[in-house]
Chain A
């Protein structure tokens, strides 16, 4: 009998310990308003719809103190507030599914919570520490920052401005167009663009590849210390190339071969003009290898 009481008590305790609270709230919102979302752990999934309403559904973990959800003027705030006693990895997060007017501007901050955005055409500012970020971007500006979280970003081939920064997170970017700034310390970036107008790419030790068509007066400026850089440009290529390494190799599959910078040093350089050369491609490396190719 006593054993049975213990069992019931234990089950109650365990169910309380893992108690989750379901939420379903809606508020009127501006069709092109700002939506600020913050969550620590769990997930944040945002999708656009054609209603002027922000709807939040999902579940809050036991470490969550409360969910703040307010809308005032053009600004809607959704904020998961944790209990002070919640520690990292305690499961104190929330899984949120949020519908917003499709023209909303998003500002999302998480720690380990993954971010998933689709169907939102307004500007996006997405930031995570270790959470993974997956998003679709249209013609508006997008800024994505993570420490170690990986990034998957899909464009719609519309000219826009992308600013992507990770410390060690990897990034997979496809169908973007226009301008991009991509910076990482040790992450590997794989960037595929429909058209490239401006690109500033920097890596310390991560590998980075860029594929796409250079527009008429495109400017590509890229630098690495020890990571490898790979470029595949769509033919016909009309650009002037200035490529230089201190000790890395340079491979070129469509223009002249690189030359030694000096008789005895390990450095290589490659300067040439392809087509009318209106675009400019400048690549520098300390010891990382550089590869140029066309398709």
Chain B
């Protein structure tokens, strides 16, 4: 385009056309009354949280979530004091959750740790990833303490959350800059962690039995 404009003839034509443009365009109606009424209207702040920008909000959210996840795992580790050594070993599983699930004894039946979008769980930070992996591995052992029907319900609802994550990620592909979707996605990741932590905690609280 630049080269074309450097062509003298074409440049003259463009300048000529620009020169023929009107100096101003009068609106077909008087716009001022509408502008004035809007200026007089009370100022309503829309979504103050969003004003700081979704990237900042997302970063803050991820930080909070990782912190929450670490706290959850920390509390669970404390609750696990006195539990079999295998659980302690699981709690210090490596950040690579899939490897952890595959190599930890007794975790063969653990629900698969799936990768998600938003850059995958890895993008949520290594602490989050490790917290989730630990909860997932602990879940397999704890689910065994629940009645079979309840176990199925928990698994069905975990799948429900994962289906929601799938829907959100699919929608994000269509609208990658949608702040609503990003917020929902972040909170749904958090919901998954919360569900895992709650189920683990409920299973831990199940009244004990004596040896037969």
Q: Which residues of A contact B (CB under 8 A)?
A: 38-40, 65-66, 79-86, 88-89, 109-112, 127, 129-130, 145, 147-148, 165, 167-168, 183, 185-186, 202, 204-205, 223, 225-226, 240, 242, 244-247, 265, 267, 271-273, 277, 282, 284, 286-287
Contact = CB atoms under 8 A, between A and B. Distances in A.
Nearest to B212: A84
Contacts of B149: 130
Nearest to B194: A183
B154 A82 contact: no
Contacts of A242: 46-47
Contacts of B42: 273
Contacts of A65: 209-210
16 contacts: A81-B208, A111-B146, A111-B147, A167-B157, A167-B195, A204-B161, A204-B188, A223-B187, A225-B167, A225-B188, A240-B45, A271-B46, A271-B47, A282-B47, A284-B184, A286-B164
A286 B184 contact: yes
A109 to B, nearest CB: 4
B49 to A, nearest CB: 9
B153 A147 contact: yes
Contacts of A148: 150, 153
B202 interface: yes
A165 B207 contact: no
B22 interface: no
Interface string B106-123: 000000000000000000
A39 B147 contact: no
Nearest to B46: A271
Nearest to A92: B209
A38 to B, nearest CB: 4
Contacts of B46: 242, 271
A147 B211 contact: no
Contacts of A40: 206-207
Given A109-B206, A147-B202, A225-B168, A204 B160 contact: yes
B80 interface: no
A129 B202 contact: yes
B153 A167 contact: yes
Given A185-B195, A240-B44, 15 more contacts: A38-B205, A39-B207, A65-B210, A83-B212, A84-B211, A109-B205, A145-B198, A167-B157, A167-B195, A186-B156, A204-B164, A245-B180, A246-B171, A246-B184, A267-B180
3 nearest interchain CB pairs? A84-B212, A38-B207, A88-B147
B40 to A, nearest CB: 15
Nearest to B168: A286
Nearest to A242: B47
A68 B168 CA distance: 49
B67 interface: no
B178 interface: yes
Contacts of A80: 207
B148 interface: yes
| Of listed B146, B160, B207, residue having the most chain A CB within 10 A | B207
